[in-house]
Every structure is written in structure tokens, then in C-alpha cells.
Structure 1
């Protein structure tokens, strides 16, 4: 398929060369359109050699081909990586001062921006307003990663790994290539939809220094939030103990415990059209919180001196939401089942039992454990439906691709409910 790779003038431009290689090795026809500033970081010969095509930055080259119009008109996908603060601003304002901004104005295919800049530039209200404008117009904005930036700086603003950008682009290209009757384009399909997401893992304090918790990183929930926002949704995230930057254009409420999460989600239930319960919620909490650190015995030979921690059951937030919704079809409720399997019963069988027990519309089932799912960037899930329609397997793929599969399924359930 025909891909236009726009390259902004940031230090991360060298990573775009790796992204270009991923596209060409997958058989795509790639035209690289850098800005003049981008050529200060990676020169024209590199782009031409890797793409096997001439490289231009202005509208005066290849005038006879009307390249400033044809490139955007003929593209199946336009991806800009890195997208600098300046380039995002020019795109949001609809300026057309060079070849790349002309392409962005003429493109009617999916457009992906992968921002990269220093943290202060990304967090600036002007940049956030420009990102929101682009998302409202149907563009897909991949939130920047956190990590080492230029020089000694570190923080949010790092270009996502080329493999992660490529996975999102491949997903969009696959949707574009599918028959219109089979798979609708996801561009703007969540425009105006209100999506409430839980993410991370709750922690139940034992004393001032200890807690009962789990291994959840929140990556899958945040991926759902980022993709929902990119598809036009108004997104709120109830985030439990997550060390991740908030996706662009997403409201985040931080909580710690299961009870705090329950209160926050219930407060927003009437607001939401779709609820995605991706958080790992502790099933139990200590019956009593100890105000000072619990001390161990000084006599290791005395087993009776070990403290006994009494646990009580936490509320079932997912089942409670389903009960509170009652017979209404809104919001669509998506549950998660993190299972390890057990003798005689597979992860999928346990998931099917949980779906019947919880009564949610969709259940995302995945196998978890040490070195499985938690904290990783890839995932494989089964999405089960309560209405008896066949479930699907998504993955192995990046959590962004998994997020789109979850959102697709929730959209289909919601549209079916609205139709009836």
C-alpha cells in the first residue's frame, strides 16, 4: 500500500529511518517527505536510498506531477514521525508552507502523528490544544513515551519505538484494505462517545509501609485510553498506582484502593457510554489497618509469634456496575479476566464462567503470570460476548492493537443496542 512518511525536524528523526525500513520490508510503497529542518538531522541521501525514491521538501520540485496534491490524494496512510511541536501547530492551523503540510491538507486517508519533543513543550497548553484539534478532525495521535530525551533530560516526550508506531499503522492499513461491508474505518468512529476506563492495580494497605497488590502496570488500560481518544472519544481514566504518562486529551483520576476505585467509577457511571474495566482490582483487603509498622518477632523459633492478617472481601466493582445499570443498554460494560488457568480448566473456560457470572457485555480474557502480560508491551486476548455472538482472538500484538480490537467490539455492541 502507498504510505507517506513525514519526518519532522527533531533529534528523533533517526528513528524514522528504522520505521521506514519496517514499512519497506513489509512490502509497502513509501514516499518520504521530510521538512527542511529534518534534513539537518538525517540527510536526503539516506531517505532516498532507504525508500528507493527521490526526496523533496518543497512544492517546487516535480511540479509537472503536482506532487503537493497527488501524494496526499493517492496515499493509503500518512504517518508523521517525529511530529515536532512546530509541525503539530502548523498542521492544526492548516498551514501549507512546505510539501509535508500540503500533503497533510490533501490526504483523505488515515493520518498518524507520533509526537516527540521535550516534556515542557508537550505539556504546554498550546501543544495540547493543537493535539486536541487534530484528534477532533480524525487524526490518530500516538502519545509520546517517557524516557531519555536530548542531553541529560528525561521525561515524557520521547518518540515511541518504531515497532510500536508500525504496529498501529499496520492496523489502520489493514482496516483500510478490508471491504467496507466487512470492516468500517475507525476514523472518528468514537467521536462524541464518552468512554470510562479503569487501569493499573489497586493496593490495599496493611500498615504505613506495606500493602497487598498485584503486578499490573496499567499499560493495557492506558493503551485503550490513548486509542479511544485518537478515535474521537471523550475519555476519563480511573488510574490505580500507574507510573505512566497520561495520554493526550484524557482526564485521569488517581486512586489507590479498590474502595476508592469503586467510588470514582460509580460517580461517572451515568456519564459514560462505554465502560472498560481494565484494572486489576484486589479481591481482598486487610480487615484492619495497623497505624505503625508491623514488627516481626525476634524469636524465629516461635511460630506463634508471627502476625495473622485477617482479610475481608472487596466489593465486586464490575458486577456492581452491571447491577446498577440494570436492564438499560447503556453504558456498554467491558470486563477483564486475568487468569492463570488451573488443573482441568483452561484460561478460556474460566473466562466463559466469569462472563456468565458477571453479566457484562464483553469480557477480555488473557493469561497472566510471571513474564506473561503484566508490564509487557504485547498481549494476546480472547474477547467474549454475552449476546452469544462468536468471540474473537486478538494478538499476539502490541497493546495498542489489542486496544483497538476491544474498542471495535464495544462499538459493535453499542451500535447494535442503539439500533434496537
Structure 2
């Protein structure tokens, strides 16, 4: 190595942010391995690199002992005295053993180490950059296909879009720019592994955050998202300002905002519903566009029993149960949908009606009995009054004579 190489390390430190001391330590470690490999040495050696002149020297380190058992790591006190009389038992003696052609080996090794460290530093920078973008939206260009995987060009690195994260039926063409949701960023020996998705519910959420200013400003909050990618999604929103309609804000004038998101998701249908603290109201809203008559909540079993008009049953359930399934995902409640006529004709309802009729009939009987008793009491009192009247008439002439 030479002075120019040392100066190059200074430039690398400035441009790449890799410490010069760290690079020199790494070069010295690599040179120890290179020396032992190329010269078959088993000695305990130390490499010294002069940062001024760029010179590289190899020193064999040996411990001073009374009796040598291992010539590779030990030296006798007598031999140590020949080098310098100051050494004592237990001291370390360093003897220069630099080979004549070691400069060439040192230069090649140093270059390899520096290049490796630069690559590692760049990987670390990319990893840190994309690690911050986990759960965020990014835009990339479709670069190539590998088996069923799609590799996305992100500039300095590639992102992986596996089959499980691709929208079924969506066309992916090389050179096409698409928006993606960053699911996970992990570090590997070959660099950062960036896993992206087109099916994640978070993608829908982030797209609405871009299209709807009220969400960005914090006036409207996305409470929950349920998605069957490429087919249909449901999103529950709430407003922090009573004057702002959360659903209307997300739909936008003439549906422009929601339509912009639909275009980004391969024409996926999106239902936007109003979130509510009441589970009964929220479940009813989640089944939109179906009309709901009644909702009863079973908290212990986490079941919402929903009653809909007969003609709305198929709409509430949806094609292959999709509407009900998405409503369940959105609300977190298991949704049990029944039509109105089933509730009326059900055995439980019939028993309830019969029980009510029996109670009503019993009440009427009690009322009639009470009325009859009151009538008998009235008749008895009337008879007593008539008797008293007759007695009064009979005694009246006598009183007049007196």
C-alpha cells in the first residue's frame, strides 16, 4: 500500500460515511488471515499499518516463558534477552516477520476489504431508508419476473412482490409504474429484503389518505378496513368535526375521490360506511347497501343477529356471501342474517306469541271475575237500600199521627 491509498480512505470516509479507523481495523484483520494462509504460519501475529506512509508490517507476538512448549506462541527468557534485556516472564515480545512480497498481498487484500465494506455500508443505508417506510405507500417500476414473483425497481434496490400479494386478474407489465404497500423490510447477507403488497388493506387506507384532504388534516379518521383484493372492500370512517360528513368526504364530488382509488386497484368495488360506537348501528351500516330492520348483539358469543326484509336477504348476504363476510371482518362481529318472515314464523317467536296471548287471556279472565264481584256487591247494596226504603214508608204514617 502507499500514501495515495491512505488518502483514498479519507475520501471514502467523507463520501460514504465509513470511518477511516473502522476500515483500517478491518484491513488489518483481513491481512492476518491472508498472512497465515499464504505463508502457512501458525504464529500469533499483529498487522501494523502506518497511516502516514502507508507501510504495512507484520509482527509475531510471543509470550516470554521459562520453558518453551509451543514455538509458535512462546519464546524463552534467554532468547528474549538477546532481543532486549528488559523482558520478564509473562511479557509479550513482538518480532517483525514481514515477508518481502507482502506489500502486493496487502494491497490486494485491502482493496477487497474496502470494497466489501463500502457495499455493506450502502446496504445498511438502503435498509435504514426502507425500514422507515414499513406500513407506508411507495411507487416502483415493474422490472422483471422470476417464476411467479415480480421484482420491482426501487432505484438503488429491488422490492419483491410475491404471488400471495398480487391482485388476482391484474395485469403486470414490465416498465409499468405501480403503487405498493411496504409489508416488511428485513436484512440479509445479500442486502435488504423489501416485501411489498397489492392486496394488503393498508394499501387502500394509504391511497385514501392521499386522495382525501380531510383524512390528511385529521378531520376524518379511517377506523377499519376489510378487503378482498380485486373484488370488493369496505372501509369504516368517522368524523372528528360534526360539520364534516366522513362518507361524503371520502366519496368526493361526483365520486371523484373514491373513483381515483378504484382506478389504482384494478376497478375494485369500495363500500364506504359510517363508523359508530354502537355495535348495533355499526353492523347495520357495515351491511350497506342492504336495508336492516333490527340488530341484536350477543356479546358473550360475539354474534350480531341481523334481521332484513325478505327481498333484501340476497343483497345483505352478497354474492357467495361476500357482503356479509366483509361486514364481519370490518366490525369484528360474526354476522347472522335472517329474513323478516323467518323471525315471525320461527318456533321461538311462535312460543313467544302464544305465551303473550295466554297472559293476555288470563288478564282478561281476572278482569271479568273482578267485574262480576263488583256487580254482585252493587246488587247486594241496592237490595239493602230498597229494604230500608220500604221500612221508612211503613213507619212514616205513624210518625205523622204523632
Q: Give TM-score, length-normalised by structure 2.
A: 0.23
- Give the TM-score of the pair, scaled to structure 1: 0.22
Greater fraction helix: 2
Larger RCO (CA within 8 A; separation ≥ 6): 1
Q: Which has the larger radius of gyration?
A: 2
